[in-house]
Amino acid sequence: MGVLMVIFGVFVMVLCMCTAVLRWNEMRYRKKGLPPGTMGWPVFGETTEFLKQGPNFMKNQRASRYGSFFKSHILGCPTVVSMDPELNRYILMNEAKGLVPGYPQSMLDILGKCNIAAVHGSTHKQMRGALLALISPTMIRQQLLPKIDEFMRAFLSNWDNQVINIQDRTKEMAFLSSLKQIASAESSSVAQQFMPEFFKLVLGTLSLPIDLPGTNYRRGFQARQNILKILGQLIEKRRDSEESHKDMLGYLMRNDDNNRHKLSDDEIIDQIITILYSGYETVSTTSMMAVKYLHDHPTVLEELRKEHMGIRERKRADEPIEWNDLKSMRFTRAVIFETSRLATIVNGVLRKTTKDMELNGYVIPKGWRIYVYTREINYDPFLYPDPLAFNPWRWMDKGLESQNYFLIFGGGTRQCPGKELGIAEISTFLHYFVTRYRWEEVGGEKLMKFPRVEAPNGLHIRVSSY
């Protein structure tokens, strides 16, 4: 009996201490003018609930109590969450008015201080200019699309009569395709060393910045150091050889007068990491989910296959996809947009205040993050009738792509600069996949939609020739 009383006493004491700590943390942020909300634990905040519950954390547990504008503490910093479409559009369109990119510290540490998501002002303009020069329509048409086509042909060969994990294959595809565009001559020799480090880097970007052994943050940061070494040696080797290379790294390293966006080696390396990172998740996940949705919607697959078979009929067997073919893939583009909308690969965008500023009638302190949460816009029945249905035909009307709340690829001056390159990669992948193969799912694995869209146990399909 005495032991039970001691255990009960300890339990009550711990409960009281936890309650006191939570109350103390709430009092720290109970400043006049702040929006309503809860802050959770010191340091950790409500990150665990946010990552585990995702949309339910936002929609049911917070927005239902506090409305579409509330405060929290997620991913290591005090944050105001905005779920209001009008306000979100204003925030994204007014970066110069006291708002700059506000990505989590883990992302900034691992992607580098020179990555395009971290910089602003004149530096952002220079970095964005350098990036846009690499992925302009002219570059896609003349330099990148031939590399993409050559890679996809080889990558998608010999899948017949195999059970494959399409999640793993699309991850490999997205990484290796980008690597070939960045460093075409060396891509094969560095891929085996580079790829596992890159995958660890990706996991580390969405974690609490706690530098302890075994954490995703520590593993991601160590992976960055290994990647810096790989890329540094690659740049040094190219500089010593003095050969010219017509790939992204070759263009970034140019020293001639035609290069208006000269970057330091550190900036070049961060730019390469940014290109790999920004394209990897969107391209791999959209490709995987397109395969999933096409399997589940045979009429959509039939229409898509019809479009691509029409292109193949106009070509010789070994003739590559060209720019005009890409532009003719209207239904494919619609499938990509509908997949991105329904799967919601990008849930929102983070900004940081550079001064105390008023938003929505509240005062947001300097240094706070604002999470422009755009996920729910994708399911707005006024914008997308029957929003949970996979219906690519809705995008055949070009007006939907240009409407004010089209934020699938970000918005304002931060709209994803690689949007058209990503669409080219996914379109080429789908072209060779649907014209060569048919497939069926094996196992019916579970899909998660937050914080990343993924199949925890893989997504297995049995592939056979078409």
The total domain count for the chain is 2
pLDDT of residue 11: 45
Give the residue-averaged pLDDT of 22-47. Answer: 68
Q: Are residues 1 and 146 in the same domain?
A: no
User: Tell me, what's the pLDDT at 37?
Assistant: 81
- On whether the CB atoms of residues 461 and 291 are closer than 8 A, the answer is yes
Q: Does 156 lie in the same domain as 25? A: no
Q: Which residues form the domain of 156?
A: 40-465
Query: Is residue 35, in this structure, part of any structural domain at all?
Result: no
Q: Cα(276)–Cα(190) distance, rounded to whole angstroms?
A: 14
Q: Is the pLDDT of residue 19 over 80?
A: no
Closest CA to 220 of 361, 110, 340, 323: 110
Q: Are residues 92 and 136 located together in one domain of the fold?
A: yes
Per-residue pLDDT for 445 more than 80?
no
Is the bond preceding residue 451 a cis peptide, omega within 30 degrees? yes
> What three-state secondary structure class fits 28?
helix
**Region 12-18: what's the mean pLDDT?**
48
In terms of domains, do 45 and 26 share one? no
Whether residues 140 and 13 share a domain: the answer is no
Question: For position 431, what pLDDT does the model report?
Answer: 97
Asked whether residue 146 is domain-assigned, the answer is yes
Q: CA separation (Å) from 247 to 229, 262, 401, 421, 445?
A: 20, 16, 31, 14, 38
Do 96 and 146 lie in a common domain? Answer: yes
Residues 15 and 120 in one domain: no
Average pLDDT over residues 166-182: 94
Each residue of 320-336: pLDDT tens digit?
999 999 999 999 999 99
**20 — pLDDT class (breaks 50, 70, 90):** low
Dihedral sign from CA coordinates of 103, 104, 108, 111: negative
Provide the pairing of β-strand 99-101 with 348-353: antiparallel
335 part of a folded domain = yes
134 pLDDT higher than 70: yes
Please write the tens of the pLDDT for every residue from 369-391.
888 888 888 888 988 999 999 99
18 confidence band (pLDDT: 50, 70, 90): very low
Mean pLDDT (the chain, rounded): 84
- Give every CB contact of residue 447 below 8 A, 6+ residues apart in sequence: 292, 453, 454, 455, 459
Q: What's CA 208's distance to the chain center, in Å? A: 18
What sign has the CA pseudo-torsion 164, 166, 167, 170? Answer: positive
61-120: pLDDT as tens digits: 666 788 888 888 887 788 888 888 888 888 887 766 778 777 778 888 898 877 776 666
DSSP 334-345: HHHHHHHHHHTS
358 forms beta bridges with: 363
pLDDT of residue 96: 62
- pTM for this one? 0.86
Which whole number is the average pLDDT over 1-7? 54
Instruction: State yes or no: pLDDT of 14 exceeds 50.
Output: no
Determine whether the annotation assigns residue 416 to a binding site. Answer: yes
Residues 110 and 175 in one domain: yes
451 CB neighbour count, 10 Å cutoff: 13
Say which residues have a Cβ less than 8 Å from residue 37's Cβ, sequence separation at least 6: 62, 66, 70, 71, 72, 80, 81
State which of 3-12, 202-211, 216-225 shows the largest mean pLDDT.
216-225
User: Which strands form 162-165's sheet, in the order they lie side by side?
Assistant: 162-165, 460-465, 437-441
* 262-303 pLDDT per residue, tens: 778 888 898 899 889 888 888 999 999 999 999 999 999 999
